[in-house]
Structure 1
Amino acid sequence: MTEISPLRRRMIDDMTVRNLSPATQRSYLHAVTKFSRYFGRSPDRLGLEDVRAFQVHLVSSGLSWPALNQTVCALRFFFGVTLGHGEIPERIAYARTPAKLPTILNGDEIVRFLEAVPSLRTRTALTTTYAAGLRASEAVHLKVRDIDGERGIIRVEHGKGGKDRNVMLSAQLLAILRVYWRLARPEVWLFPGRDETKPIDVQVLYFLPAVRRAPRPASTKG
Protein backbone atom coordinates (compact mmCIF):
# COMPACT_ATOMS: atom_id res chain seq x y z
CA MET A 1 0.00 0.00 0.00
CA THR A 2 1.38 3.41 -0.99
CA GLU A 3 2.17 5.62 1.98
CA ILE A 4 0.52 9.04 1.95
CA SER A 5 2.89 11.93 2.56
CA PRO A 6 2.19 14.27 5.49
CA LEU A 7 1.53 17.14 3.07
CA ARG A 8 -1.01 15.15 1.08
CA ARG A 9 -2.66 13.95 4.30
CA ARG A 10 -2.89 17.53 5.53
CA MET A 11 -4.56 18.68 2.32
CA ILE A 12 -7.03 15.76 2.49
CA ASP A 13 -7.86 16.65 6.09
CA ASP A 14 -8.33 20.31 5.13
CA MET A 15 -10.76 19.36 2.37
CA THR A 16 -12.62 16.90 4.59
CA VAL A 17 -13.07 19.46 7.36
CA ARG A 18 -14.55 21.87 4.81
CA ASN A 19 -16.90 19.15 3.55
CA LEU A 20 -15.65 19.14 -0.03
CA SER A 21 -17.20 16.33 -2.04
CA PRO A 22 -15.12 13.22 -2.80
CA ALA A 23 -15.11 14.15 -6.50
CA THR A 24 -13.78 17.64 -5.72
CA GLN A 25 -11.15 16.21 -3.41
CA ARG A 26 -9.92 13.83 -6.11
CA SER A 27 -9.85 16.67 -8.63
CA TYR A 28 -7.87 18.95 -6.33
CA LEU A 29 -5.37 16.25 -5.44
CA HIS A 30 -4.90 15.36 -9.11
CA ALA A 31 -4.30 19.02 -10.03
CA VAL A 32 -1.74 19.60 -7.27
CA THR A 33 0.03 16.33 -8.11
CA LYS A 34 0.20 17.33 -11.78
CA PHE A 35 1.57 20.74 -10.75
CA SER A 36 4.25 19.08 -8.61
CA ARG A 37 5.28 16.58 -11.28
CA TYR A 38 5.58 19.29 -13.92
CA PHE A 39 8.43 20.89 -11.93
CA GLY A 40 9.72 17.70 -10.34
CA ARG A 41 9.53 19.21 -6.86
CA SER A 42 7.27 19.04 -3.83
CA PRO A 43 4.44 21.59 -4.30
CA ASP A 44 5.22 23.30 -0.99
CA ARG A 45 8.58 24.30 -2.50
CA LEU A 46 6.93 26.06 -5.43
CA GLY A 47 5.59 29.61 -5.58
CA LEU A 48 3.47 32.08 -7.50
CA GLU A 49 5.84 32.34 -10.47
CA ASP A 50 5.74 28.56 -10.80
CA VAL A 51 1.95 28.68 -10.77
CA ARG A 52 2.00 31.21 -13.61
CA ALA A 53 4.40 29.11 -15.64
CA PHE A 54 2.19 26.07 -15.06
CA GLN A 55 -0.89 27.98 -16.20
CA VAL A 56 0.89 29.04 -19.39
CA HIS A 57 1.79 25.40 -19.99
CA LEU A 58 -1.81 24.28 -19.50
CA VAL A 59 -3.16 26.95 -21.84
CA SER A 60 -0.63 26.07 -24.54
CA SER A 61 -1.58 22.41 -24.20
CA GLY A 62 -5.16 23.26 -25.16
CA LEU A 63 -6.78 22.48 -21.83
CA SER A 64 -10.41 23.66 -21.70
CA TRP A 65 -11.23 26.72 -19.64
CA PRO A 66 -13.40 24.74 -17.12
CA ALA A 67 -10.45 22.41 -16.51
CA LEU A 68 -8.13 25.39 -16.19
CA ASN A 69 -10.36 26.96 -13.58
CA GLN A 70 -10.64 23.67 -11.71
CA THR A 71 -6.84 23.67 -11.48
CA VAL A 72 -6.89 27.27 -10.28
CA CYS A 73 -9.37 26.34 -7.54
CA ALA A 74 -7.15 23.46 -6.47
CA LEU A 75 -3.99 25.59 -6.32
CA ARG A 76 -5.75 28.42 -4.53
CA PHE A 77 -6.96 25.95 -1.92
CA PHE A 78 -3.55 24.31 -1.57
CA PHE A 79 -1.63 27.56 -1.13
CA GLY A 80 -4.27 29.43 0.82
CA VAL A 81 -5.57 26.71 3.14
CA THR A 82 -3.07 23.87 3.35
CA LEU A 83 0.05 26.05 3.26
CA GLY A 84 -1.56 29.11 4.82
CA HIS A 85 -0.12 31.55 2.27
CA GLY A 86 -3.04 33.96 2.33
CA GLU A 87 -1.44 36.42 -0.08
CA ILE A 88 -1.06 33.95 -2.94
CA PRO A 89 -4.57 32.65 -3.79
CA GLU A 90 -5.96 36.04 -4.86
CA ARG A 91 -3.04 36.44 -7.24
CA ILE A 92 -3.76 33.18 -9.07
CA ALA A 93 -5.95 34.29 -11.96
CA TYR A 94 -8.97 32.40 -13.21
CA ALA A 95 -9.37 31.76 -16.92
CA ARG A 96 -11.95 34.02 -18.51
CA THR A 97 -15.00 32.36 -19.99
CA PRO A 98 -14.64 32.54 -23.78
CA ALA A 99 -17.19 34.78 -25.44
CA LYS A 100 -19.67 32.94 -27.61
CA LEU A 101 -21.53 34.27 -30.59
CA PRO A 102 -25.29 34.44 -30.09
CA THR A 103 -27.47 31.92 -31.86
CA ILE A 104 -28.65 33.37 -35.16
CA LEU A 105 -32.10 32.38 -36.35
CA ASN A 106 -32.45 31.43 -39.97
CA GLY A 107 -35.10 32.91 -42.23
CA ASP A 108 -37.72 30.23 -41.60
CA GLU A 109 -37.25 30.46 -37.82
CA ILE A 110 -37.69 34.23 -37.91
CA VAL A 111 -40.89 33.89 -39.93
CA ARG A 112 -42.26 31.28 -37.50
CA PHE A 113 -41.36 33.46 -34.54
CA LEU A 114 -43.07 36.54 -35.98
CA GLU A 115 -46.15 34.55 -36.99
CA ALA A 116 -46.44 33.30 -33.41
CA VAL A 117 -46.73 36.84 -31.99
CA PRO A 118 -50.51 37.31 -31.53
CA SER A 119 -50.62 41.14 -31.45
CA LEU A 120 -50.74 42.75 -34.90
CA ARG A 121 -49.11 45.92 -33.60
CA THR A 122 -46.27 44.09 -31.80
CA ARG A 123 -45.73 41.68 -34.70
CA THR A 124 -45.49 44.56 -37.18
CA ALA A 125 -43.15 46.51 -34.90
CA LEU A 126 -40.86 43.48 -34.60
CA THR A 127 -41.01 42.89 -38.35
CA THR A 128 -40.08 46.53 -38.99
CA THR A 129 -37.22 46.35 -36.49
CA TYR A 130 -35.78 43.27 -38.18
CA ALA A 131 -36.44 44.18 -41.81
CA ALA A 132 -35.14 47.75 -41.56
CA GLY A 133 -32.24 46.96 -39.23
CA LEU A 134 -33.54 49.32 -36.53
CA ARG A 135 -32.98 49.35 -32.80
CA ALA A 136 -36.09 48.52 -30.80
CA SER A 137 -36.07 52.03 -29.34
CA GLU A 138 -35.97 53.47 -32.87
CA ALA A 139 -38.82 51.31 -34.14
CA VAL A 140 -41.24 52.17 -31.33
CA HIS A 141 -40.68 55.90 -31.86
CA LEU A 142 -41.53 55.85 -35.54
CA LYS A 143 -44.38 58.09 -36.62
CA VAL A 144 -46.75 57.50 -39.52
CA ARG A 145 -45.17 60.43 -41.36
CA ASP A 146 -41.73 58.74 -41.14
CA ILE A 147 -42.76 56.11 -43.70
CA ASP A 148 -42.05 57.44 -47.18
CA GLY A 149 -43.41 54.83 -49.56
CA GLU A 150 -42.74 56.88 -52.68
CA ARG A 151 -39.01 57.22 -52.03
CA GLY A 152 -38.71 53.86 -50.29
CA ILE A 153 -37.18 55.18 -47.08
CA ILE A 154 -37.92 55.32 -43.36
CA ARG A 155 -37.02 58.48 -41.51
CA VAL A 156 -35.40 57.72 -38.14
CA GLU A 157 -35.30 60.69 -35.77
CA HIS A 158 -32.91 60.86 -32.83
CA GLY A 159 -31.41 57.44 -33.56
CA LYS A 160 -27.98 56.22 -32.54
CA GLY A 161 -25.92 59.08 -31.18
CA GLY A 162 -29.00 61.32 -31.22
CA LYS A 163 -28.71 61.73 -35.00
CA ASP A 164 -31.41 61.57 -37.66
CA ARG A 165 -30.97 59.23 -40.60
CA ASN A 166 -32.81 57.51 -43.43
CA VAL A 167 -32.95 53.73 -43.86
CA MET A 168 -34.10 51.71 -46.82
CA LEU A 169 -37.74 50.61 -46.94
CA SER A 170 -38.15 47.40 -48.90
CA ALA A 171 -41.20 46.73 -51.03
CA GLN A 172 -42.08 43.75 -48.83
CA LEU A 173 -41.98 45.77 -45.62
CA LEU A 174 -43.94 48.58 -47.25
CA ALA A 175 -46.69 46.11 -48.19
CA ILE A 176 -46.79 44.79 -44.62
CA LEU A 177 -46.98 48.32 -43.20
CA ARG A 178 -49.80 49.26 -45.59
CA VAL A 179 -51.87 46.27 -44.48
CA TYR A 180 -51.15 47.15 -40.85
CA TRP A 181 -52.17 50.78 -41.40
CA ARG A 182 -55.46 49.78 -43.04
CA LEU A 183 -56.31 47.51 -40.07
CA ALA A 184 -54.97 49.56 -37.15
CA ARG A 185 -55.36 53.11 -38.51
CA PRO A 186 -52.60 54.69 -36.38
CA GLU A 187 -52.74 58.49 -36.46
CA VAL A 188 -49.49 59.92 -35.07
CA TRP A 189 -47.32 57.13 -33.68
CA LEU A 190 -46.91 54.23 -36.07
CA PHE A 191 -47.06 51.84 -33.10
CA PRO A 192 -49.10 53.64 -30.42
CA GLY A 193 -49.37 52.43 -26.84
CA ARG A 194 -52.56 52.01 -24.84
CA ASP A 195 -52.49 55.75 -24.50
CA GLU A 196 -52.49 56.63 -28.20
CA THR A 197 -50.72 59.92 -27.50
CA LYS A 198 -47.60 57.88 -26.62
CA PRO A 199 -45.68 55.19 -28.52
CA ILE A 200 -45.72 51.54 -27.52
CA ASP A 201 -43.44 50.76 -24.56
CA VAL A 202 -40.07 49.51 -25.83
CA GLN A 203 -40.08 46.89 -23.04
CA VAL A 204 -42.81 45.09 -24.97
CA LEU A 205 -40.25 44.30 -27.65
CA TYR A 206 -37.35 43.65 -25.28
CA PHE A 207 -39.18 41.28 -22.98
CA LEU A 208 -41.65 39.38 -25.10
CA PRO A 209 -42.85 36.19 -23.37
CA ALA A 210 -41.14 33.06 -24.67
CA VAL A 211 -42.89 31.90 -27.82
CA ARG A 212 -43.28 28.17 -28.23
CA ARG A 213 -43.23 26.74 -31.66
CA ALA A 214 -46.71 25.56 -32.45
CA PRO A 215 -46.91 21.95 -33.62
CA ARG A 216 -47.69 21.48 -37.25
CA PRO A 217 -51.34 20.53 -37.79
CA ALA A 218 -51.90 16.92 -38.75
CA SER A 219 -52.74 16.44 -42.39
CA THR A 220 -56.34 15.48 -43.09
CA LYS A 221 -57.63 13.56 -45.99
CA GLY A 222 -61.04 14.32 -47.25
Structure 2
Amino acid sequence: MQDVLRRKNYSLNTQQSYMHMFTLFLKYMYPQPMHTINSSIIKEYHTKLVTQDHKSISFQNQSINAIKFYLEKVLKQPSEHYDFERPKKPKRLPSVLSTKQILDLLDATTNLKHKAILTLIYSAGLRISECVNLQIKDIDSDTMRIWVRNGKGQKDRITLLSVDALFLLRNYYKHYTPKKWLFEGVKGKQYSASSIRSVFNKSKRIAKITMPATVHTLRHSFATHLLENGTNLRYIQKLLGHNSSKTTEIYTHVASDMLTNIKSPFDLIKK
Protein backbone atom coordinates (compact mmCIF):
# COMPACT_ATOMS: atom_id res chain seq x y z
CA MET A 1 0.00 0.00 0.00
CA GLN A 2 2.79 2.43 0.89
CA ASP A 3 4.49 1.82 -2.48
CA VAL A 4 1.27 2.79 -4.27
CA LEU A 5 0.96 5.94 -2.13
CA ARG A 6 4.51 6.93 -3.07
CA ARG A 7 4.01 6.22 -6.78
CA LYS A 8 0.92 8.38 -6.77
CA ASN A 9 2.94 11.18 -5.15
CA TYR A 10 0.82 11.48 -2.02
CA SER A 11 2.31 13.80 0.59
CA LEU A 12 4.33 12.30 3.43
CA ASN A 13 1.65 13.35 5.93
CA THR A 14 -1.06 11.59 3.90
CA GLN A 15 1.10 8.47 3.56
CA GLN A 16 1.65 8.30 7.29
CA SER A 17 -2.02 8.95 8.06
CA TYR A 18 -3.28 6.29 5.61
CA MET A 19 -0.80 3.69 6.82
CA HIS A 20 -1.66 4.35 10.47
CA MET A 21 -5.42 4.20 9.86
CA PHE A 22 -5.20 1.08 7.73
CA THR A 23 -2.99 -0.66 10.31
CA LEU A 24 -5.67 -0.05 12.95
CA PHE A 25 -8.26 -1.55 10.63
CA LEU A 26 -6.08 -4.60 10.01
CA LYS A 27 -5.77 -5.14 13.77
CA TYR A 28 -9.56 -5.13 13.96
CA MET A 29 -9.74 -7.60 11.05
CA TYR A 30 -7.22 -10.06 12.52
CA PRO A 31 -7.20 -13.05 12.10
CA GLN A 32 -9.53 -12.76 9.10
CA PRO A 33 -7.67 -12.80 5.74
CA MET A 34 -7.46 -9.62 3.69
CA HIS A 35 -9.54 -10.91 0.78
CA THR A 36 -12.60 -11.12 3.07
CA ILE A 37 -12.84 -7.34 3.46
CA ASN A 38 -16.31 -6.16 2.47
CA SER A 39 -18.75 -3.32 3.13
CA SER A 40 -20.32 -5.13 6.08
CA ILE A 41 -17.01 -5.49 7.93
CA ILE A 42 -16.10 -1.87 7.20
CA LYS A 43 -19.43 -0.64 8.52
CA GLU A 44 -19.06 -2.73 11.68
CA TYR A 45 -15.58 -1.30 12.24
CA HIS A 46 -16.70 2.30 11.87
CA THR A 47 -19.71 1.70 14.10
CA LYS A 48 -17.22 0.53 16.73
CA LEU A 49 -15.14 3.70 16.23
CA VAL A 50 -18.22 5.78 17.02
CA THR A 51 -20.01 3.81 19.74
CA GLN A 52 -17.10 2.24 21.63
CA ASP A 53 -13.96 4.23 20.85
CA HIS A 54 -15.72 7.62 20.61
CA LYS A 55 -13.46 8.71 17.75
CA SER A 56 -13.93 12.11 16.14
CA ILE A 57 -15.59 12.64 12.77
CA SER A 58 -12.22 13.65 11.35
CA PHE A 59 -10.69 10.37 12.56
CA GLN A 60 -13.55 8.40 10.99
CA ASN A 61 -13.16 10.16 7.66
CA GLN A 62 -9.41 9.55 7.60
CA SER A 63 -10.04 5.88 8.31
CA ILE A 64 -12.57 5.66 5.49
CA ASN A 65 -10.18 7.37 3.07
CA ALA A 66 -7.41 4.90 3.93
CA ILE A 67 -9.61 1.84 3.45
CA LYS A 68 -11.06 3.24 0.22
CA PHE A 69 -7.55 3.81 -1.08
CA TYR A 70 -6.56 0.21 -0.37
CA LEU A 71 -9.64 -1.26 -1.98
CA GLU A 72 -9.76 1.03 -4.99
CA LYS A 73 -6.10 1.76 -5.76
CA VAL A 74 -4.32 -1.34 -4.45
CA LEU A 75 -6.88 -4.12 -5.00
CA LYS A 76 -8.51 -2.33 -7.96
CA GLN A 77 -12.00 -3.14 -6.70
CA PRO A 78 -15.04 -1.21 -7.98
CA SER A 79 -16.82 1.29 -5.78
CA GLU A 80 -19.67 -1.00 -4.78
CA HIS A 81 -17.25 -2.91 -2.55
CA TYR A 82 -17.04 0.08 -0.20
CA ASP A 83 -20.39 1.74 -0.63
CA PHE A 84 -21.07 3.23 2.81
CA GLU A 85 -22.06 6.59 4.23
CA ARG A 86 -19.57 9.06 5.59
CA PRO A 87 -20.24 10.86 8.88
CA LYS A 88 -21.19 14.49 8.40
CA LYS A 89 -18.99 17.14 9.94
CA PRO A 90 -20.69 19.65 12.21
CA LYS A 91 -20.64 23.13 10.72
CA ARG A 92 -18.46 25.25 12.98
CA LEU A 93 -17.28 28.76 12.31
CA PRO A 94 -13.49 29.16 12.22
CA SER A 95 -11.69 31.06 14.96
CA VAL A 96 -10.26 34.36 13.76
CA LEU A 97 -7.76 36.71 15.38
CA SER A 98 -8.33 40.45 15.15
CA THR A 99 -5.74 42.59 13.37
CA LYS A 100 -4.57 43.85 16.77
CA GLN A 101 -4.12 40.30 18.03
CA ILE A 102 -2.10 39.47 14.91
CA LEU A 103 0.23 42.41 15.58
CA ASP A 104 0.47 41.50 19.28
CA LEU A 105 1.35 37.92 18.35
CA LEU A 106 4.09 38.99 15.94
CA ASP A 107 5.45 41.58 18.39
CA ALA A 108 5.71 38.80 20.97
CA THR A 109 7.80 36.74 18.54
CA THR A 110 11.34 38.07 19.01
CA ASN A 111 13.33 35.39 17.15
CA LEU A 112 13.86 36.56 13.53
CA LYS A 113 13.23 33.17 11.91
CA HIS A 114 10.14 32.54 14.02
CA LYS A 115 8.75 35.98 13.24
CA ALA A 116 9.35 35.44 9.51
CA ILE A 117 7.53 32.10 9.61
CA LEU A 118 4.41 33.36 11.40
CA THR A 119 4.35 36.55 9.31
CA LEU A 120 4.49 34.60 6.06
CA ILE A 121 1.77 32.14 7.11
CA TYR A 122 -0.59 35.01 7.97
CA SER A 123 0.31 37.39 5.13
CA ALA A 124 0.02 34.69 2.45
CA GLY A 125 -2.75 32.52 3.95
CA LEU A 126 -0.56 29.42 4.03
CA ARG A 127 -1.25 26.03 5.54
CA ILE A 128 1.48 24.92 7.93
CA SER A 129 2.53 22.12 5.55
CA GLU A 130 2.79 24.61 2.70
CA CYS A 131 5.04 26.83 4.77
CA VAL A 132 7.53 24.07 5.62
CA ASN A 133 7.56 22.94 1.97
CA LEU A 134 8.47 26.36 0.59
CA GLN A 135 11.80 26.60 -1.18
CA ILE A 136 13.81 29.78 -1.76
CA LYS A 137 12.94 29.68 -5.47
CA ASP A 138 9.22 29.86 -4.62
CA ILE A 139 9.53 33.48 -3.46
CA ASP A 140 9.07 35.65 -6.55
CA SER A 141 9.95 39.20 -5.53
CA ASP A 142 9.73 40.47 -9.13
CA THR A 143 5.99 39.82 -9.37
CA MET A 144 5.40 39.84 -5.59
CA ARG A 145 3.99 36.33 -5.62
CA ILE A 146 4.61 33.11 -3.73
CA TRP A 147 4.42 29.81 -5.56
CA VAL A 148 2.76 27.14 -3.42
CA ARG A 149 3.66 23.80 -4.93
CA ASN A 150 1.97 20.47 -4.16
CA GLY A 151 -0.51 22.02 -1.75
CA LYS A 152 -3.57 20.21 -0.48
CA GLY A 153 -4.81 17.82 -3.15
CA GLN A 154 -1.41 17.98 -4.88
CA LYS A 155 -2.34 21.32 -6.45
CA ASP A 156 -0.06 24.27 -7.22
CA ARG A 157 -1.26 27.82 -6.72
CA ILE A 158 -0.04 31.40 -6.43
CA THR A 159 -0.61 33.60 -3.41
CA LEU A 160 0.37 37.05 -2.21
CA LEU A 161 3.85 38.20 -1.23
CA SER A 162 3.45 41.11 1.17
CA VAL A 163 5.90 44.03 0.84
CA ASP A 164 6.54 44.06 4.59
CA ALA A 165 6.86 40.27 4.65
CA LEU A 166 9.44 40.45 1.85
CA PHE A 167 11.48 42.99 3.81
CA LEU A 168 11.41 40.66 6.82
CA LEU A 169 12.34 37.64 4.67
CA ARG A 170 15.35 39.44 3.19
CA ASN A 171 16.57 40.31 6.67
CA TYR A 172 16.03 36.70 7.76
CA TYR A 173 17.88 35.40 4.67
CA LYS A 174 20.94 37.53 5.40
CA HIS A 175 21.17 36.20 8.94
CA TYR A 176 20.35 32.52 8.36
CA THR A 177 21.45 31.96 4.69
CA PRO A 178 19.20 28.94 3.98
CA LYS A 179 20.35 26.79 1.05
CA LYS A 180 17.26 25.02 -0.33
CA TRP A 181 14.26 25.19 1.96
CA LEU A 182 13.11 28.69 2.85
CA PHE A 183 12.96 27.69 6.51
CA GLU A 184 15.56 25.12 7.49
CA GLY A 185 16.06 23.22 10.70
CA VAL A 186 18.93 21.04 11.85
CA LYS A 187 21.50 20.12 9.16
CA GLY A 188 19.63 22.01 6.44
CA LYS A 189 16.49 19.86 6.65
CA GLN A 190 12.98 21.27 6.44
CA TYR A 191 11.76 23.12 9.50
CA SER A 192 9.19 20.94 11.23
CA ALA A 193 5.47 21.65 11.61
CA SER A 194 5.67 20.74 15.30
CA SER A 195 8.33 23.43 15.84
CA ILE A 196 6.08 26.03 14.20
CA ARG A 197 3.21 25.00 16.48
CA SER A 198 5.48 25.41 19.50
CA VAL A 199 6.55 28.86 18.31
CA PHE A 200 2.95 29.92 17.78
CA ASN A 201 1.79 28.67 21.18
CA LYS A 202 4.66 30.42 22.96
CA SER A 203 4.00 33.74 21.20
CA LYS A 204 0.27 33.41 21.82
CA ARG A 205 0.94 32.94 25.52
CA ILE A 206 3.32 35.92 25.68
CA ALA A 207 0.83 38.09 23.78
CA LYS A 208 -1.85 37.07 26.32
CA ILE A 209 -4.23 35.85 23.65
CA THR A 210 -6.65 33.63 25.55
CA MET A 211 -9.06 32.63 22.80
CA PRO A 212 -8.65 29.16 21.27
CA ALA A 213 -6.28 29.46 18.29
CA THR A 214 -3.81 27.36 16.32
CA VAL A 215 -1.36 28.10 13.52
CA HIS A 216 -4.22 27.45 11.07
CA THR A 217 -6.10 30.34 12.69
CA LEU A 218 -3.62 32.64 10.91
CA ARG A 219 -4.89 31.35 7.58
CA HIS A 220 -8.51 31.87 8.65
CA SER A 221 -7.61 35.38 9.78
CA PHE A 222 -5.92 36.14 6.43
CA ALA A 223 -9.09 35.24 4.54
CA THR A 224 -11.42 37.06 6.92
CA HIS A 225 -9.36 40.27 6.94
CA LEU A 226 -9.21 40.26 3.13
CA LEU A 227 -12.98 39.93 3.00
CA GLU A 228 -13.45 42.73 5.52
CA ASN A 229 -11.26 44.95 3.35
CA GLY A 230 -13.48 44.40 0.33
CA THR A 231 -11.61 41.65 -1.56
CA ASN A 232 -13.88 39.66 -3.86
CA LEU A 233 -14.71 36.22 -2.45
CA ARG A 234 -13.70 34.60 -5.75
CA TYR A 235 -10.16 35.98 -5.46
CA ILE A 236 -9.90 34.81 -1.86
CA GLN A 237 -10.95 31.34 -3.01
CA LYS A 238 -8.07 31.32 -5.52
CA LEU A 239 -5.53 32.55 -2.98
CA LEU A 240 -6.56 29.85 -0.49
CA GLY A 241 -6.66 27.10 -3.11
CA HIS A 242 -10.24 26.07 -2.41
CA ASN A 243 -11.95 23.95 -5.06
CA SER A 244 -15.42 25.11 -4.11
CA SER A 245 -16.61 28.63 -3.36
CA LYS A 246 -18.80 27.12 -0.62
CA THR A 247 -15.67 26.39 1.42
CA THR A 248 -14.62 30.04 1.18
CA GLU A 249 -18.11 31.40 1.91
CA ILE A 250 -17.79 30.39 5.57
CA TYR A 251 -15.67 33.52 6.08
CA THR A 252 -18.69 35.71 5.37
CA HIS A 253 -20.08 34.49 8.70
CA VAL A 254 -17.07 35.68 10.70
CA ALA A 255 -16.21 38.93 8.90
CA SER A 256 -17.39 41.24 11.68
CA ASP A 257 -16.51 44.50 9.92
CA MET A 258 -18.75 43.60 7.00
CA LEU A 259 -21.62 42.88 9.37
CA THR A 260 -21.22 46.14 11.27
CA ASN A 261 -21.20 48.10 7.99
CA ILE A 262 -24.53 46.64 6.88
CA LYS A 263 -27.40 48.97 7.67
CA SER A 264 -30.86 47.81 8.57
CA PRO A 265 -33.45 48.77 5.94
CA PHE A 266 -35.36 50.47 8.74
CA ASP A 267 -32.44 52.90 9.23
CA LEU A 268 -32.38 53.59 5.50
CA ILE A 269 -36.08 54.36 5.10
CA LYS A 270 -35.99 56.84 7.99
CA LYS A 271 -33.61 59.12 6.08
Shorter-chain TM-score bucket reads 0.3 to 0.5
TM-score by length of 1: 0.48
TM-score by length of 2: 0.40
More helix by share: 2
